[in-house]
Structure 1
């Protein structure tokens, strides 16, 4: 399976690295499982909102071959929704009929901008709920919303639920449960929503 995490300049760090970590645990626990996770973008490197510059593992063309795509969030989304060339690429590379497509927080705005959330229920970070409502989207104030092959998550810790949804759909419930259990605090597991 090929999993892509879409990053860009001024992405929110935890919304890339938390799901990256959980998704990569499939390889740790099940090394024979055919599981590839790549962070992709338009440049060789992208810099997060907190100032961390990281290398990309593939360019946007990788999105087309991915079995699942996770769209990051961050202030950079506001620039990207005005970039027609970028949006046009996403429209042609993403296909919810054959891919799982999920977004973290304001990443939902990108999905809405290219029409993937039209007439669907979706969520986003609290400060972007009104903006998401400007697209023909039924906006709900929930941590995780999934309809078919599309899912949106809101609040950084919901990245765990988004990653769990991808793992359980593509690799199975048992594998997903083991990956999520491996990051829970001892003695006081987080009460996260389940996909």
Structure 2
């Protein structure tokens, strides 16, 4: 089973690595890191990832995973990822996104009139691209699976594992990863975080976009 993980400049590492750790260790999986060129791709926090193939070379995959990140708007603008998704999605059993990666699926026309989720700060943008936005952590609609922000990629990948290999395999993987979240603070979603903190995060997010540096994560 070929699983293609999409790379692009200033993506968020956890959007990719969370699903990778869940899916790439499955014995049936051959993982591919696909990008516009074979040159290393630098994430929004400076981690360099090395593609194993390119969009021009990889014309099919059983599963596609598209991460989000600070570079999503630039990727929307150049259209390269969306063009590849339009070509390859018909060959895939599952096409998935994490966080703002959903905007790239939407640009490719994969979410027109379909339910989907994304990072909480990008719900309006996703709706403007034609999706029916939900606030769920993971949304499954036909062959398309979307996850909410960043850490939701692990939930998305476990959902995929259950769909592909069954619930018992997914539970085993969850146990092996010791994925049993007990965060020290109840502030992981705008519905649970204090309103002042949500406002601060929104300002940081908007300031980063205005400056062209992507979502801000600093005070």
* TM value normalised by structure 2: 0.76
Structure 2 matches for 1:1-195, cutoff 5 A?
1-27=1-27, 34-44=28-38, 45-61=40-56, 64-95=59-90, 98-184=92-178, 189-190=180-181
What is the Cα-based RMSD across aligned positions, in Å?
Answer: 1.8
SS in 1 for 2:87: helix
Which protein, 1 or 2, shows the higher relative CO under an 8 Å CA cutoff with sep ≥ 6?
1
Unaligned runs of 5+ in 2: 183-219
Give the 3 Å change call, closer, same or farther, for CA 5–85 of structure 1 in structure 2.
closer
- How many residue pairs match? The answer is 181
Give the stretch that moved more between structures: 1-10 or 80-89.
80-89
Call closer, same or farther: CA 1:190–1:55 in 2, change over 3 Å. same
Alpha-carbon distance in structure 1 between the residues aligned to 2:93 and 2:81:
19
Larger radius of gyration: 2
Distance 1:176-1:64 versus aligned 2 partners, 3 A rule? farther
Listed as ranges, the gaps of 5+ residues in structure 1 are: 28-33
TM-score normalised by L of structure 1? 0.85
Moved over 6 A (4+): none
1:175 Cα deviation (Å)? 1.6
Query: 1:91, CA displacement in angstroms?
Result: 1.4
